Amino acid sequence: MLPEEFLNRMREMIGEEETLLLDKACEKDPVQALRLNPLKKKPDGCIDLLSEMKLEKLSYEDDGYLFDPECAPGRRPFHDAGAYYIQDPGAMIPGALLRKSGYLKEGMKVLDLCAAPGGKSTQIASAMVGRGILFSNEIVKNRCSVLSANIERMGITNAVVLNETPEKLAERFPGYFDAVIVDAPCSGEGMFRKNSEAVSQWSSENVEMCAQRQELILENAYACLKPGGILVYSTCTFEGSENEDRISGLIGKHPDMTLLSTDFFRETAEGLRDGLDECGDAIRVWPMYFNGEGHFAALLKKEGGSVEMLPPGGYEPVSDIKTGKALDEFLKDTLTKEAADRIASAKSRFRLFGDNLFIMPEETPSLAGLKVARCGLHIGTFKKDRFEPAHALALFLGEEDVLLSKRVNEDEAESFVKGMTLNGEGKGWCLISVCGYSLGWGKASGGVIKNHYPKGLRIQG
């Protein structure tokens, strides 16, 4: 049952009849969807998830699909392999809005300011296809860990995951980003039928607190955005004070910000509604009209000329002495020559964090003094006289990139992610894939493949 005070607020906003429809819509079962991951390498003979899970295409997101809950994709090993990301249909709109706007170009610098758990970051990263740099930031530490894990799972190589305040980033990167995404923390009204906790925790005081916090976040997002840059603002609430008022307030304070038309996007999606009052170009998603939960999204542009950018290369290349021959031996013994050459060609962007080796995204600025949870692609770890590959590297590579691989079925994959050993020929590091989607590392010897799936990710039971 929805809070009566909330219903009264909706009656004032949209009238009695529409509020009744909203109330009834919130009693229905939530709609479930996923995005297939175009970054995940799929060799010939790979299973076709579209037919396997009977997916129904979404019109506005190239990789988005509705699914039957009975397929339970979240409990299948394809999810562990990063073949898809489970996400509410409406939550895909802000990322799709930026992708289809024409403003997202190759090599851009993009900031996802409130990024956890990673839906919009992974969506934008798939459009960036490894080029440019994506800063995915989350202020809450444990949520930042979830964000980092999802970035890794989806095989993303050009993301820097930060655990910082918006204020710190605005101070550090003024006018730096070509695009900023703000999926702001909100009162969560749009998630009422999906999350009973959102109903029990709702209050008008929380709405007011969220609106004040959103205003501060938007100020910092504005500071980070370069002239000519694009801002996507979104929430999962119905409140005008958290949506249109925040857009109007930002434009009123900064006349160089312009609300852009979203007509190009509305042509591809059914059930979208205009924003309220003077923010009609914004998009409102109401569950009584749209096949998904409640959301709000707006696209804005910062007018003006160029600004001096931060210099790239804020890191010291790793010397050959530090990497030694352990890495060279691993590349030679484990990867094909083509794949090994691709890794080696990025040597100027190698960086060591302790004994962990990463490939930094191109043109990464200095990150000194920032709380960095992940920085580009984690290649592996130096352990005495050997090099052990990272789980992230397995999720980035495909079967065609390695000298030794084993393709397993779903049942075998489920055993593998629980920590079980596998039977297999050969010797050395072996890439395990589930029906063609890379899943993790094993080490083969004597007809047995020892399990190297990370213990912290293993499924219990």
Would you mind telling me the total number of residues written for the chain in this entry? 461
Predicted confidence at residue 311, as pLDDT, reads 56
Q: Assign 86 to helix, strand or coil.
A: strand
What average pLDDT does the segment 329-355 reach? Answer: 94
H helix intervals, 254-362: 263-266, 320-334, 337-344
Tally of CA atoms within 13 A in the half-sphere of 16 that contains its CB: 0
DSSP codes of every residue in 348-384: GGEEEETTEEEEPPTT----TTS-EEEESEEEEEEET
Of 173-182, 297-306, 311-320, minimum mean pLDDT range: 311-320
Burial class of 319 by CB neighbour count within 10 A (0 to 12, 13 to 18, 19+): exposed
* Cα–Cα distance measured from residue 390 to residue 153, given in angstroms and rounded to the nearest whole number: 12
DSSP codes of every residue in 90-129: GGGHHHHHHHHTS---TT-EEEETT-TT-HHHHHHHHHHT
pLDDT at 6 over 90: yes
pLDDT at 381 over 90: yes
- From 151, 142, 213, 150, select the one nearest 182 (Cα to Cα): 213
Quick: pLDDT tens for 197-238: 999 999 999 999 999 999 999 999 999 999 999 999 999 999
DSSP codes of every residue in 143-168: HHHHHHHHHHHTT--SEEEE---HHH
In the chain, the domains with their CATH numbers are 4-302 (3.40.50.150), 320-359+376-457 (3.10.450.720)
- Between the alpha carbon of residue 344 and those of residues 323, 338, 348, 356, 450, the distances in Å are 11, 10, 9, 16, 27
pLDDT at 458 over 90: yes
Predicted confidence at residue 461, as pLDDT, reads 64
Average pLDDT of every residue of the chain: 93
CB atoms within 10 A of CB 51: 8
Predicted confidence at residue 318, as pLDDT, reads 56
Bridge partners (DSSP) listed for residue 109: 133
More reliable by pLDDT, 352 or 111: 111
What average pLDDT does the segment 188-203 reach? Answer: 93
Phi, psi of 344 (to 5 degrees): -65, -30
Q: What are the b/e assignments for 87-114, b being 16+ CB within 10 Å?
A: bbbbbbbbbbbbbbbebbeeebbbbbbb
Q: What percentage of the chain carries pLDDT values higher than 90?
A: 85
- From 74, 73, 75, 81, select the one nearest 41 (Cα to Cα): 81
Give the residue carrying structure tokens 């749009």.
Answer: 190
Query: What is the pTM (predicted TM-score) of this model?
Result: 0.95
- From 129, 124, 126, 123, select the one nearest 106 (Cα to Cα): 129
pLDDT at 321 over 50: no
Predicted confidence at residue 385, as pLDDT, reads 85
Question: Which tokens is 318 given?
Answer: 């790793």
Residues with catalytic function: 236
